[in-house]
Structure 1
Amino acid sequence: MAGQPCSSKTLSSVVNQEFLNRSSNIESARFLKRIMQKSEEEGKSIKTFSSDLERAHFYTGLDRRTFFTQYTNLKATEIKDIERSLIQERLIAFYMNASSLSPSPDTAPTTKNLFVALYGKIPHYVDIRMFRKCLANLGYVWLRIFKGYIVMERPSLTFERYYYLKDIVRYREENREIFYVDETVMSSLNNYYSFKEFNKLMNTAVKADIEIIQKGLVKNIYAISKSGVYALKTIDDFTTNNFANWVINEVIPILPEKSVVIIHNYEHHDDVIKKPTLFSIKSDIIAWLERNDVPHTEEMSKCELVDLIDTYTSEFDEISKIENSLKLRGHELLRLPVCIEDMTPAKHFFDLVKLNARRVKGNQDEVLKNIADSVSQETFENFDRHVADAEQDTLQADITMDRIFDTVVAAFQKVRLKDAEDSEVPLSDSD
């Protein structure tokens, strides 16, 4: 009936339409689904409430519109993830303020203070318990001080980002051409999804035992620089083999001298090749020697070939086929840290594609190419300039945090905090 939430019998079809709804916060979506199912079950025997919607509202305290839009209108406001950049920006502000002010419970970078400071910038359905879990998932930990806990970024993430930014800033100063790799998926309704969004939807479908129909999905991979989109290709699936072959056969040949290629830390980008041993087959041993330009003959025994490996090749037990192929041609490979995965021109181009995909006429396989061809080089240069500025700002923020962190922690060691709700969270990088 119009105006009523969907029946639980039709929930499967709703979940199977997540490419339209884009409910990326899986926990929240499943929470609402279970509440509605339970409300419908009790509604058959308990008539206290006038409708299942009223019952769900009473049980959770959530606004009725939250349930209504989730189950009656697939084009309604999305359930979104909390943006990590918002949290990081506010956390840095807390530390910087604390370094210049007298320490007090109100200026401490605690979970509660962060949550209050981000009011209006995070989804309304997120409570402090969900917020704390989100912090942990995004790579934040809690440092025990005198009385209470303060939030800090996991040191391993901080170091990874710092060294990536140092490298990329240096490469820009050397005027090296930089190419960012990106992957997208387009549905039959011309809705575009990043690889991460697509992968999350697929994982959700697996957990819910629901099959998302692959027919009509167009999967693209491409490299983007300040001068445009290159090596655009439609592929059958995102696999390690497909990705490595694409980089080696289609990206490397078009790279200018001493280019830099930046890729995400996705599972199918991990094309590690292990160093052969006497247990390896002879063809793999020879392939390793050829990859490292070590002279050999087919007539050599496995023992002799392995001796060549030990004597003339890297001491590392494994290498990246992509990184090795790039270095042999004078290029560099950088892995983009997860904590700044949107700091690329590809992200800006992807946002532009989403805005224009429905307006582009033509074959579905050519939509992305047509959009890329219509974007001016000046626009791509602006994308790259914006990212370069963000890299510099983020690097300076990291340097500032490194300088003031110890001082702030020492100051709060003398302050009694009332943040008992963080008593069960991980407290160190090793937890």
Structure 2
Amino acid sequence: MYKDLKSKDPDMPYKQIMSKISQTLGIGLNSVCKIISEYKSTGTVASPTKTRSKKCLFDKIDDLDRNGIRQKVHSFWLKKELPTIDKVLEAVNDDPALPNFKRTTLYTTIKKLDFAFIKRKRCSVLTEREDLLVWRQNYLYDIRKFREEGRTVYYLDETWVNAGDCVDKLWVDKSIKSKHDAFTRGLTTGATNPTGKDQRLIVLHIGSHKGFLEGGLLCFLSKKNSSDYHDEMNSNNFHEWFESIIPHLDPNSVIVMDNAPYHTARIEKIPTASSKKDEILSWLTSKGIVIDKSMFKPQLMAKVRKIKSRYISYVVDNMAKNAGHTVLRLPLYHSELNPIELAWAMVKTYVKQNNTTYNIDDVKSLLNTAIDRVTSENWKNFIEHVKREENKMTEVDRNMDEIIDNLEPCVLTITGETSDSSDF
């Protein structure tokens, strides 16, 4: 429109052109002026920035904080006390290592950690959701069985290292008033401030009681400005790396990993409620299911749910199985059961203590040195710590089962649906 109006009437005032475009297209005058100004200065027009959905607090806190909240709930069960939302809120907010929560925000966060609020007598008790509890106990049974069989257990995980990572506290000479003062006294102004914070290394590795697996490190520079390092990895990258490390594993080993999307890419796409009706019909037909084409979509999805468990198969699991290995997945939000998290903590501490240049290449060199410093003895200690955590979780589940079974139940049970605040 701008070009057309200019060609028809070159002498038309700029403001009049803007006003005419705005009225004709129904677009705000300021937006029209901004777009035309951008075009005149750059020769092109960028796509409007899409409004991003606002992240809730649960998305902002990291796995360490989520795990800390879960452990606060478990601590009550270990003491054979009933955890209520008020008790947990006080415990979380009293811990300086955890974020401070409002009552309703903590309630929402805990539910997203797959806890359930079960009504007993005059209060609601926090307990694990049944499916997560079953998953955890199955995991604990399997990992103990594999150890008893003498199979090597490998643990893998991703993390990140920022160019600006450094220690939070250090000694400062407060007698130095300025750079000139330091120079005249033959002193320094202390450590320089971190730079290059936007640069980040994404790191993937795998290890066992023997230490980090030789040749198992994958490290690359982040290209996305994202708060979540998981955004950097994709299924293709992970599968390529996984295939490369399989030949280096001990025979008949077990590989423990979490449930990141690229760890759980499926061989076959199974229809969901968002699938087109024709796609659902085609999938059911391919499985030999006799269907009536006059059936409605909810009826077809009911048939899908009935048989889909037979066809859930993951790419990584098949790769491992074909090489004689077994993949074991951690329960959701249970990073404390992965000893590599302790290895990462040791690695990052070394990098922070020795990072003085904040240069990404220097940080990468520090990272490699830090990984080499983690010995097999360290790994054995990490695994022993995890075993103690596993025993603690079994005790939590035992106490939970015993105490809840002896409580007088109420009619109302809340297991995942939003409740009124008066219920908790």
TM-score (norm 1): 0.57
Corresponding residue to 2:264 among 245, 259, 270: 270
- In structure 2, relative to structure 1, the CA distance for the partners of 1:407 and 1:223 (3 Å cut) is same
- In structure 2, relative to structure 1, the CA distance for the partners of 1:111 and 1:364 (3 Å cut) is closer
CA deviations 1:268-319 (Å, max 9, x no partner) are 212211189xx99xxxxxxxxxxxxxxxxxxxxxxxxxxxxxxxxx993342
Question: Within 5 A, what are the aligned runs for 1:4-403?
Answer: 27=57, 83-93=68-78, 96-97=80-81, 108-118=82-92, 120-121=94-95, 123=98, 125-190=100-165, 216-230=199-213, 231-235=216-220, 237-249=232-244, 251-274=245-268, 316-360=310-354, 363-403=362-402
TM superposition shift of 1:395: 2.3
Contact 1:360 1:370 in 2 (8 A): no
Which letter does structure 2 place at the counterpart of 1:234?
C
- In structure 2, relative to structure 1, the CA distance for the partners of 1:315 and 1:346 (3 Å cut) is closer
Structure 2: unaligned runs, 5 residues or longer: 1-54, 168-195, 222-231, 271-277, 280-307, 356-360, 412-417
Contact 1:232 1:369 in 2 (8 A): no
Q: Distance in 1 between matches of 2:403 and 2:376?
A: 41
CA deviations 1:96-135 (Å, max 9, x no partner) are 24xxxxxxxxxx5322233345552265742322322222
SS in 2 for 1:274: coil
CA deviations 1:127-173 (Å, max 9, x no partner) are 32232222222222212334442222211211111111111111112
TM superposition shift of 1:255: 0.7
Q: Distance in 2 between matches of 1:327 and 1:352?
A: 32
TM superposition shift of 1:246: 0.9
Structure 1: unaligned runs, 5 residues or longer: 1-24, 31-78, 98-107, 193-212, 281-313, 415-421
Q: Distance in 2 between matches of 1:341 and 1:29?
A: 16
TM superposition shift of 1:384: 1.3
TM superposition shift of 1:28: 10
Q: Distance in 1 between matches of 2:365 and 2:84?
A: 49
Contact 1:221 1:235 in 2 (8 A): no
Which letter does structure 1 place at the counterpart of 2:391?
Q
Q: Distance in 1 between matches of 2:59 and 2:317?
A: 39
TM superposition shift of 1:383: 0.9
Q: Distance in 1 between matches of 2:238 and 2:422?
A: 36
TM superposition shift of 1:215: 6.6
Q: Distance in 2 between matches of 1:29 and 1:321?
A: 27
Q: Distance in 2 between matches of 1:139 and 1:179?
A: 27
- In structure 2, relative to structure 1, the CA distance for the partners of 1:327 and 1:125 (3 Å cut) is closer
- In structure 2, relative to structure 1, the CA distance for the partners of 1:164 and 1:80 (3 Å cut) is closer
Contact 2:206 2:212 in 1 (8 A): yes
Percentage of matched positions with identical amino acids? 22
Q: Distance in 2 between matches of 1:113 and 1:216?
A: 40
Bigger Cα displacement from structure 2, 369-378 vs 147-156? 147-156
CA deviations 1:327-379 (Å, max 9, x no partner) are 12221101111231222111111111221103457743333221111222211
SS in 2 for 1:221: strand
Corresponding residue to 1:424 among 401, 420, 423: 420
Contact 1:141 1:426 in 2 (8 A): no
- Larger Rg, first or second structure (1 or 2): 2
Q: CA RMSD in A?
A: 3.8
- In structure 2, relative to structure 1, the CA distance for the partners of 1:274 and 1:142 (3 Å cut) is same
CA deviations 1:249-271 (Å, max 9, x no partner) are 2x211110111101111112122
Which letter does structure 1 place at the counterpart of 2:248?
I
Q: Distance in 2 between matches of 1:426 and 1:253?
A: 57
Q: Distance in 1 between matches of 2:105 and 2:197?
A: 32
TM-score (norm 2): 0.58
Q: Distance in 2 between matches of 1:144 and 1:385?
A: 37
Contact 1:92 1:401 in 2 (8 A): yes
SS in 1 for 2:310: coil
Q: Distance in 2 between matches of 1:423 and 1:320?
A: 36
TM superposition shift of 1:392: 2.4
Contact 1:343 1:387 in 2 (8 A): yes
TM superposition shift of 1:324: 0.9
- In structure 2, relative to structure 1, the CA distance for the partners of 1:235 and 1:29 (3 Å cut) is closer
CA deviations 1:59-113 (Å, max 9, x no partner) are xxxxxxxxxxxxxxxxxxxx9667134323234146x24xxxxxxxxxx532223
Which letter does structure 2 place at the counterpart of 1:397?
V
CA deviations 1:152-203 (Å, max 9, x no partner) are 22112111111111111111122211111111222222469xxxxxxxxxxx
Which letter does structure 2 place at the counterpart of 1:389?
R
